[in-house]
Structure 1
Amino acid sequence: MTQSANEAKLQLVLDRQEIEQILSLYCRAIDRLDAELLKSIYHPDGTDDHGVFSGPAHEFADMIMVSLAEVLIDGMHTVTHSAIEIEGNFATAESYYQAYQLCHGGLDAVTGFFGPAYAEAQVAKGTIDSPQDYICGGRYIDLFEKRDGKWKILRRRITNEWNICQPSTRITQQGHLAHFNLPGRRDRQDPVYMNVLPKTP
C-alpha cells in the first residue's frame, strides 16, 4: 500500500472517530439539558426532523430543552452502533439508539405525554400518580458535512420504532440499592463537566 493510500485510510479512521464523538455528545447534550452543546454539533444551517419538530436544528435545540425540562424527571440516551459512510466532505450515518425517560405522574402529565387511553388505564390501576417509564428505540439518520476541518450534522431525521410504557419500577432509596443510587444532574453541575484533563507541565 502506498504512502498516499495509507494516509487516506488513516484519514477515514480519524473522520469516523470524530463523527462518532459527535453522536456521543448528542446524548450528553440531551440528558444534561445542555442547549449550547446541542447546537454545537449542528451546522448553523442544519436541520432536524424529530417528529415533534421539523426545521432549523438550533431552533430544535431551544425547543427540546424546554420540553424535556417540563415533561421528564430524568433520562438517558445511548447510541448502540453506527453505520457510517464517508465520501469527501460528506458522510451518512445510520445510528441505532435506545432511550430511557422517567416521566412525571399525575393525570395532566400522563395524559399529555402518553395519551388519554393510557392515562385512563393508569387511573383504573391506581398508578396515575406514579412516575412513568418511557423506554424507546429507533435510529438517527444523519447527513454530516465537514467544513473548515470539522464534521457537524447538516441534516438529521429520527425514527422511533418501539416503546415500553409502564408505571416506573425504579427503586432508589430502599435496601442495598440505595447505596448505588448516584443520579447525575440535568445541568452543567453534572460531574462530567468537572472531569477535565490535568494540565501538563
Structure 2
Amino acid sequence: MSQSLEAQLRLVLDRQEIERVLMTYCRAIDRCDLELLKTVYHPEATDDHGSFSGNAHEFAEFIIPTLRQVILDGIHTVTHCLIDVDGDFATSEAYYWAYQRCHGGEEAVVPYFGEDYAARVKEQGLIDNFHDYYCGGRYIDLFERRNGEWKILRRKITNEWNDIRPCMRITDQGGVADFNLPGRRDRQDPVYLNTIPAREAAE
C-alpha cells in the first residue's frame, strides 16, 4: 500500500471517528445522559451554546437538568458535515435539525418562548397545550485527537431558524396511536438494552 493510499485511508477513518462523536452528542442530549455527554468533550473544552458559554463539562451539568425541566421529549439529528483534518486537529461544520416537545401552561411558556407567543396562544385557548419547538443550525467544532481518540476542544453553535406551535400530536386515537412508541430519557431507553448476546463458551 502506498503512503498516499495509507494517508487517504487514515483520513477516512478520522472522519468516521469524528462523525461518531457528533452522533454520540445527539444520543446523550436526547437521552439526558450526563456522563455520556461529557465523553464527547476534552476536560478543558468550551461550548458557546447561546444559553451557556464556557467550559463544556459545565455546559453538560447545566443543560441536562434544564432539558429535564423544560422538555418532555425530543430528538436531535446531524445531517451532513464537512470535516477537515490536519494532523491531530480537525475542524467540522455539521448541520443539525432538532425537535422538542415542551410543557404547557403560562408559567412554562413565558420563560421559554416569551410573552408575545404566550399571549398569542393564550388568546387562542391553547396555552395549556404542550408546545412543539423545531430548530435547525450548525455545530462548528474544533476537534483534537489525544491518545488516539477524537474529542471536541471548542464548539460554537448557530441556530438558523425555529418554529414554535401548540402541539397537535395524537397519542391515543386511531391507528397512529399504535405507533406512539416514545423512547426514554434515561438508561432504560431501548438503545442501552440493545446489546450483543454473550457468546457461549466453546465446549
Q: Report the TM-score, using the length of structure 2 for normalisation.
A: 0.97
Matches of 2:63 and 2:186 in 1, distance apart?
14
1:32 paired with 2:31, answer: yes
Amino acid at match of 1:155: R
Per-residue deviation at 1:158? Answer: 0.3
Query: 1:153 matched to which residue of 2?
Result: 152
Superposition map of 1:83-102 within 5 A: 83-102=82-101
Show CA shifts across 1:70-129 (max 9, x none).
001111001011000000000000000000000000001000100001000011000000
> How many residue pairs were aligned?
200
* Identity %, equivalent residues: 62
Query: 1:82 matched to which residue of 2?
Result: 81
Query: 2:66 matched to which residue of 1?
Result: 67
Per-residue deviation at 1:198? Answer: 2.7
1:174 paired with 2:159, answer: no
Query: 1:137 matched to which residue of 2?
Result: 136
Amino acid at match of 2:82: A
Per-residue deviation at 1:197? Answer: 2.1
Per-residue deviation at 1:4? Answer: 1.4
Query: 1:195 matched to which residue of 2?
Result: 194
Per-residue deviation at 1:169? Answer: 1.7
Amino acid at match of 2:175: H
Unaligned runs of 5+ in 2: none
Query: 1:108 matched to which residue of 2?
Result: 107
Superposition CA RMSD, Å: 0.9
Unaligned runs of 5+ in 1: none
Q: Report the TM-score, using the length of structure 1 for normalisation.
A: 0.98
The list of structure 1 runs, each at least 4 consecutive aligned residues, that deviate by more than 6 angstroms after superposition, is none
Show CA shifts across 1:155-192 (max 9, x none).
00000010110001211111001111110000000000
Q: Secondary structure of the equivalent of 1:171?
A: coil
Per-residue deviation at 1:47? Answer: 0.6
Per-residue deviation at 1:5? Answer: 1.3
